[in-house]
């Protein structure tokens, strides 16, 4: 088994975590859930539950050196073999992939729009461009979706690790730089303060069970937790190296991306008098406006931005399938090629079905809406609860301590242990019960 190099491991996990979750999903979820209330719960959930479960996944993967399914099977005490079915969480990765690549396809469409010089200049054109695209141009959506899936299949067939390491090394810093630039530019706009207030001025009137559950889900989504991605990447992590520190740095970097994306997007949403709660299209309406507002330089920045974001998304997308792939390869002895064809194939078909039925809604959401909602808000956090209970209650404390390899000690270990035993599982379950 080939192990990750230290840099390779950090880049692969960061590549998985940083993607559309921070830049597309976080702003629109914040907009739909009333701003500050969502940001507040998200922040707490991210720092308390997110980072803790991130560490749980690392411990599991690092200790077992196995795929997610086998990990839960191997570590379960004799009378608790049923725990292995926790491994089923790997399927949610396929479901998430199926809608994630559709969004990447939309981004690709916008990339070509930039190249064509077709960035909208006013709010009206930006809005109609978006609605006409998602509701009318099914051919292009299917085409871009196919192209993205094909790229993902290619990256996967190369063996995820090497291809991804190299890409991330250039593109992640580029994305960060562009965002810092965009943030600076936003700060010069009059509507920046409005954006800032929307995100950070206390307003607890918007706080309710739905906001809480969705904010917790967003924290899991953004950190790639609850599918076994971090677990799978950690099963070949380097033996040495302060991986707790890496986890925290990656998480904080991701957090910074979320906040920057929120601040930038809402500055322009308010600046143009648009609606913060316009859903998945929010970023597709605001970003083009930002770039066209910047004039000629905006076109170049837009080009770099969409390219970097699409690649950041691809490194996330391929990671979602890895737990399922690792299971198929190790359990059925399938070749990588066969495995990829199978997993990418299922996700592709699901994506096409959802695209073709895009205009059909049941209870306010279309199929994508449901895939997204059920996976992020329920499946991922519940998988997190499962892992916390497994590690906090089923395994003996000294075993868990040994799993930390000496990298989590004293008060840090105790605090983390307390969070995964009590705070995270109880917090998540109580939030979900309140929703009912």
Q: Give me the residues that bind ligand TRP (CB under 6 A), please.
A: 16-17, 19-22, 93, 96, 221-222, 224, 226-227, 229, 316, 319-320, 380
Query: Which CB sits closer to ligand TRP, 133 or 324?
Result: 324
Question: What is the rounded distance in angstroms from the CA atom of residue 290 to the CA atom of residue 119?
Answer: 10
Residue 13 Cβ, how far from ligand TRP at the closest point, in Å? 10
Residue 361 backbone phi and psi in degrees, to 5? -120, 140
Residue nearest to ligand TRP (CB): 21
CB nearer to ligand TRP: give 119 or 223: 223
Q: How far is the CB of 19 from ligand TRP (least distance, A)?
A: 3
Using DSSP's 3-state secondary structure scheme, residue 272 falls into coil
Q: Find the shortest distance in angstroms from Cβ 228 to ligand TRP.
A: 8
The nearer residue to ligand TRP, 167 or 207, going by C-beta atoms, is 167
Q: Given the complex with ligand TRP, which of 20 and 260 has the nearer CB atom?
A: 20
- Residue 324: Cβ within 10 Å count: 27
Q: How many CB atoms lie within 10 A of CB 342?
A: 17
CB of 346 to ligand TRP, least distance (A): 16
Q: How far is the CB of 20 from ligand TRP (least distance, A)?
A: 4
Residue 381 Cα distances to 226, 368, 408, 409, angstroms = 6, 19, 23, 26
Evaluate whether 117 touches 299 at the Cβ level (below 8 Å): yes
- Cα distance between residue 386 and residue 245, in whole Å: 24
Q: List 365's β-bridge partners, or say none.
A: 362
CA distances from 59 to 340, 381, 388, 406, 436 (A): 27, 18, 11, 12, 33
Smallest distance from ligand TRP to CB 422, Å: 24
Residues 220 and 43 sit within 8 Å (Cβ to Cβ): no
Of 36 and 223, the one with the shorter C-beta distance to ligand TRP is: 223
Of the pair 221, 311, the CB lying nearest ligand TRP is at 221
């Amino acid at each position: 088994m080939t192990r990750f190099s230290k840099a390779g491991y950090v880049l692969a996990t960061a590549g998985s975590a940083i993607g559309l979750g921070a830049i597309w999903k976080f702003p629109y979820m914040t907009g739909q859930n009333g701003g500050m209330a969502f940001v507040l719960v998200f922040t707490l959930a991210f720092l308390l539950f997110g980072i803790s479960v991130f560490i749980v996944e690392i411990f599991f993967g690092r200790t077992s050196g196995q795929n997610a399914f086998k990990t839960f099977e191997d570590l379960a005490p004799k009378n608790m073999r049923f725990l292995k079915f926790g491994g089923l969480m790997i399927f949610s990765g396929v479901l998430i992939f199926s809608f994630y690549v559709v969004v990447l396809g939309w981004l690709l469409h916008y990339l070509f729009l930039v190249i064509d010089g077709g960035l909208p200049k006013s709010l009206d054109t930006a809005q109609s461009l978006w609605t006409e695209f998602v509701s009318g141009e099914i051919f292009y959506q299917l085409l871009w979706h196919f192209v993205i899936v094909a790229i993902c299949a290619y990256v996967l067939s190369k063996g995820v690790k090497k291809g991804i390491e190299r890409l991330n090394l250039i593109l992640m810093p580029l994305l960060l730089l562009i965002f810092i630039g965009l943030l600076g530019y936003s700060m010069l706009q009059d509507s920046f303060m409005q954006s800032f207030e929307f995100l950070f001025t206390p307003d607890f009137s918007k706080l309710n069970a739905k906001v809480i559950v969705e904010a917790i889900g967003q924290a899991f989504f953004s950190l790639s937790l609850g599918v076994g991605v971090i677990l799978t990447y950690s099963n070949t992590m380097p033996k040495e190296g302060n991986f707790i520190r890496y986890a925290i740095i990656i998480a904080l970097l991701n957090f910074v991306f979320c906040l920057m994306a929120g601040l930038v997007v809402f500055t322009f949403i308010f600046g143009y008098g648009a609606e913060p709660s316009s859903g998945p299209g929010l970023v597709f309406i605001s970003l083009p406006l930002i770039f066209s507002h910047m004039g000629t330089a905006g076109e170049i920045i837009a080009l770099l931005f969409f390219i970097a974001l699409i690649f950041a998304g691809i490194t996330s997308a391929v990671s979602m399938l890895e737990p399922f792939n690792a299971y198929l390869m190790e359990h059925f002895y399938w070749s990588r090629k066969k495995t990829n064809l199978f997993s990418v194939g299922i996700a592709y078909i699901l994506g096409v079905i959802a695209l073709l039925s895009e205009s059909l809604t049941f209870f306010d959401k279309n199929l994508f809406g449901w895939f997204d909602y059920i996976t992020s808000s329920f499946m991922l956090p519940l998988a997190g609860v499962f892992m916390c209970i497994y590690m906090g209650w089923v395994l003996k404390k000294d075993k868990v301590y040994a799993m930390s390899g000496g990298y989590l000690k004293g008060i840090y270990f105790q605090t983390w242990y307390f969070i995964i035993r009590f705070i995270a599982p109880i917090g998540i379950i109580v939030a979900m019960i309140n929703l009912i």
